[in-house]
Structure 1
Amino acid sequence: MQEKTKAFNVLKTLYSFQDTLPKLIEDEQIKALSLDEYYIKLQILLSEDNDSVKAALHDKVTGEKKPVEIENIFKAIDVENRIRELLEKNYQVREEIINDIIKPLIEEENKLNLLYRNIPNKSESEIKYIAESINRIQADVGKVLLLGGAGIGKTTLMHYLSYKWGKDNLWNDKFDYVFRIKLKELLNENWSREYEAKELRQNKLACFIHYCLNLENIEPHEIINISNKDRVLLLLDGYDEVAFLSQDNRDYRDIMEAVFQYKNVIMSSRPNAITENINNKFERKVENTGWDSEGIKKYVYKSFEYDKEFGTPLKSFLDTHSQIKEICEAPINTAIICLIWSDQEIRQNLQTTSNENFNISRLYSEIINWLNNRHLAKNRHKYKNKTEANNHLKNIMSFLEQIAYESLSTRGKLVESKLVESKKNTLDIDEVIEQGLLRREGQNYQFIHLTFQEFLAARHLKNQLLDNYTKSKAASFYR
């Protein structure tokens, strides 16, 4: 009990202090928004349609859906209708009897006496089976697959769930321990070196949880010794970033096998990474649909709470540009627009853009231009003239595009230090990081968001294809 209480208190303290949304760009002038202002829309997937597999390949979730509040994602759904259907179709109970007993059946724990009194023509074994069936209908699910497209806020939602639990505002009667696990840490092959071979053999998952939490005041054995696993919730973030490890990575196989021995799991992923095997391990799918108009409005308001001269025009701009506003349903895109909106030149360019000519590529190009202009403003004293500055930025962007492409091709999101060292040439990595798109991640690196890495990798591939096409045309000309 003492060890449990210590771990419980440490987790509560850890999560309750993680009370702000991570900044997309590290800048002291950018305000960190409170998690208490967090807003999201979720939908339970009730049934899938014939196009669900094809839709998943395009990072979409299709089928019949029903809105759900965060606190209810484990709760049984459509209980009354399912009990009615059970009694009427399977046991031919008359409608008037069902109407009389349905509410008490849902509310009472001991259903046997109620069923004996109201359905006297059924045998004792049938009554017991009906009661068990109703209990199963009412039972909470344990394993939930949280799906959402790029930039929709899956990682933020996991952060929010642990924060709310840490603040005693979510599932405190249900879970004694909540462990938030960043699956991308599996990409760092050195993680297991932190632990003795005996600890890894005893419980590799507990060691991995300990590594992800980065807690010095909890030992792995305190996680291993938790006896009531049914009172533990595992929050697994970013399955799509490690799905490719399933073929030949032993750590992945050992850890995922141990994960599914737990009753309560929420795992986030893009839809396109989910195989049938993984899908079948979950009892429920919930889609993170991002923000509706109200969510976008709230974020813009909080971002420009003290700069109404920017916030009000941005709100009007989004209200009159439906295609751009639709892009903002992904919270990362709203965050990007709020970042660049204060730049007068970019703002004027956006305001003169037609609704039809705006797309994700344009948005990401604008934020990169904004970051580059910010970098030049801070470092103009280092360059002799504008041409030298622009050439240096061109080298930085070429480097970022190359490592984005090569890391995605081999190690997923993680950018290993050996790749950076091999490609940097004369570039100063501290300066590259100061530019804003790349961050240090322990001994390695990662981009500020996977969507930026994918965008830069696509630019690199496009340039390579264009270059090869140009060379091919030139060769044909000289032949």
Structure 2
Amino acid sequence: MNDFELLFDPIREHYRTTFSRIERLVNRRKNYSIDDAYINLSIVESKELSSKEENFHSDANYTTFEEIYGTKRPIEIEQLFNDNRERLLVLGRAGIGKTTFCQYIVCQWASGKLFQQFKCILWIRFRFLNDTRYPKKSNNEQYTLTEVVENECFSNKLTDDGLAVLQFILGEVRQAVSNSLPTILILLDGYDELSVCEHLQNLIDSLMKSPYQILTSRPYNTDDLKYDAQMEIIGFTNDNIEKYVNNFFTSNEPQKSKQLLTFLESKPSIYGIGHIPITLELICSTYGEENKQHAITSGTTITITTVYSKIIEWLCRRYLEKFCNCDKRHLNLKDRSEIIEDCSEILDVIGSIAFKAMEKSSLILDKTLVEKELRKVSPKRPSELRKKLLNIGVVKSLTAGDDSTNVEAAKDYYFIHLSFQEFFAARYLVNVLQNPKRKCYTKAINFIQYEKYNQRFLLVFTFTSGLLSGNDSLSCLETFWKAMTSEPLDLIGPRHIQLIIRCLEEAGSDHRIPQRSLWIEHISKWVECAANDTRDHKPLQTDSLAPN
């Protein structure tokens, strides 16, 4: 066995032991084999985009499963590198399974089942390339690719000999014997989650230039990237949904899976979002809780916001029962508003942390930020609030490498999924808009007004619209929509139309939305105009829709 194999074996072992199973988001005691959980997530190869599609090419373009699946050509994972493809861009909306896709690849490779033409596969998650895990060095020395790969792809620190071999393999001494280097595939996961860190930019540029590469991202801010092919992960097929639901419930719960499938098929709106893996898991988790099936099946309009709201309620009930010793029978007598009120203190703190981290484009919740927000609420006993932060179940502590510590106050944190951070950031905005006397009220309005076309915040604004539709405050709703429809405005039109469509869709049938009927009429005309003239259509005038 050569030095290369001695180095690659620990990577294979790390992948097999660490990533061979997938934990459920809200019940981490239960997990599944990556083989079972993956269930053939469909990956499709994009056709040449027409000018109309280019105008709409963003996360907002994905409205229904059928639209995506019906216009693309399926491609098997095993065929990704056919036709001499070397560099692949894989796009997918929030929660669609991009990280699961990467996890599946590294585990299948480590088990000798996939991509054996590569001697090694290195999985780098961009959310972890930040100034928290990689702070700026005092001497301005640059981080090397070797340091990052050692931190991200090995369970333990390497010996000096191991580091030398790794450095050689990564090509930092490529000039010597470039032709003898083994072929390495680099998985760069979450381009949309990349933080802006000047001292890491050279390192990131080096990663982006790797010859054999798969880059995953939400479908925005990728137009300037040059790749051999573009793929899209579209989520579950109809058959996948049936298999997933049947596998989710144990063998002694066949009625639950049957009842849930019947309900899903009877509700096109919820069946549509059920093709998104993370959403389907949340639906199953809530439905599977004893005596909580009505939490999903009640109501006529099911949106992503209602699904996340119900799962937060479910997590709060579990938290109150498990960590606050509340009697389950007593909790069952309480409605959603009472449960949320009982947990409002910690939920508001989580919202503030989520929003302020997103403002800084940070997915890692810096311990300084967390400590500051905790002390605002509990200046003398932040540790008690920190326990609540972790026990609710949407935030986890991050420990890495030699920085590991048992002291929670010394750790950084992260949300179990980016979409939960976006949901809580939206919850923060709603809370701020309800109180014009708060110092941050004007700042929140300006944020909505000037960041509304920033694709990083698209789901935040979508959630905000959904939450406001269930809020009694008319003034709060009107303030949000006034900010959304005020200048600056998209001069051409498509980006603004996308945003309004997403927000109206999430608001359901809320007729309180200012000029709702006029917006729907305007959207219909715009779509008709775009369909009739995909190249030269002019934007429709929106003077009549300007806020008063």
Q: Same fold (TM over 0.5)?
A: yes
SS in 1 for 2:74: strand
**Structure 1 counterpart of 2:86:** 142
391-400 vs 213-222, which moves further: 213-222
1:153 aligned to 2:97? yes
Q: How far, CA to CA, are the matches of 2:259 and 2:270 in structure 1? A: 14
What's the CA shift for 1:370?
0.2
Give the 5 Å matches for 1:8-157: 8-17=8-17, 18-28=19-29, 31-37=30-36, 38-39=38-39, 40-60=41-61, 65-76=72-83, 140-157=84-101
Equivalences for residues 219-234 of structure 1 within 5 A: 219-226=162-169, 228=180, 231-234=183-186
TM-score of the superposed pair, with normalisation by structure 1? 0.76
C-alpha distance in structure 1 between counterparts of 2:425 and 2:183, whole Å? 42
- Map Cα deviations across residues 241-265 of structure 1 (whole Å, 9 max, x no partner): 11x52xx6231x2123212442210
User: Structure 2: which amino acid aligns with 1:404?
Assistant: A
**Which of 278, 283, 287 matches 1:337?**
283
| Contact map agreement 2:249 2:288 (CA 8 A) in 1 | no
Query: Which moved further from structure 2: 14-23 or 454-463?
Result: 14-23
Alpha-carbon RMSD: 2.9
Cα deviations by residue, 1:175-212 (Å, 9 ceiling, x for unpaired): 0011011111112434268x9989x75x7122111111
1:376-455 aligned within 5 A? 376-381=320-325, 393-425=343-375, 426=378, 427-442=384-399, 443-455=411-423
TM superposition shift of 1:351: 2.4
The percentage of aligned residue pairs carrying the same residue is 24
Give the residue type in structure 1 aligned to 2:271.
Answer: K
Structure 2 letter corresponding to 1:428:
L
Q: Determine if contact 1:414/1:446 at 8 Å carries over to the other structure.
A: yes
Contact 2:346 2:388 in 1 (8 A): no
The SS at the match of 2:72 is strand
- Match 1:305 to one of 236, 250, 259: 250
Question: Secondary structure at 2:123's aligned position in 1?
Answer: strand
Q: Quickly say closer, same or farther: Cα 1:460–1:390, change in 2 above 3 A.
A: closer
2 CA distance for matches of 1:58 and 1:217?
39
Letter of the structure 2 residue corresponding to residue 441 of structure 1: L
Cα 1:185–1:350, aligned 2, differ >3 Å: closer, same or farther? Answer: closer
One-letter code of the match for 2:304? I
Quick check: 178-187 or 56-65, which moved more? 56-65
TM-score (norm 2): 0.67
Partners of 1:52 and 1:22 in 2: CA distance: 36
Partner of 1:175: 118
In structure 2, distance between residues paired with 1:285 and 1:250: 29
Q: Which moved more, 1:343-352 or 1:433-442?
A: 343-352
**In the alignment, what sits opposite 1:4?**
4
Alignment of 1:287-298 (within 5 A): 287-298=232-243
- Contact 1:7–1:222 (8 Å) recurs in 2: yes
Q: Considering only CA atoms, is the larger Rg found in Structure 1 or Structure 2?
A: 1
State the match for 1:80 in structure 2: none
Distance 1:403 1:212, change over 3 A: same
| Secondary structure at the counterpart of residue 285 of structure 1 | strand
Tell me, yes or no, if structure 1 residue 262 matches structure 2 residue 202: no
| 1:199-238 alignment runs, 5 A limit | 204-216=144-156, 218=158, 219-226=162-169, 228=180, 231-238=183-190
Unaligned runs of 5+ in 2: 63-67, 170-177, 379-383, 400-410, 443-474, 477-548
1:311-365 per-position Cα deviation (integer Å, ceiling 9, x unaligned): 12111111211211110111000110111112355412432322xx110010000
Q: Contact 2:91–2:231 at 8 Å: present in 1 too? A: yes
Could you tell me whether the CA contact under 8 Å between 1:144 and 1:266 is conserved in 2? yes
Q: Tell me, what secondary structure is at the counterpart of 2:102?
A: helix
Query: In the TM superposition, what whole-angstrom CA distance separates every residue of 1:37-61 from its partner, at most 9, and x where no partner exists?
Result: 1220001113112134443333547
Q: Contact 1:234–1:264 (CA<8 Å) still a contact in 2?
A: yes
SS in structure 1 opposite 2:324? helix
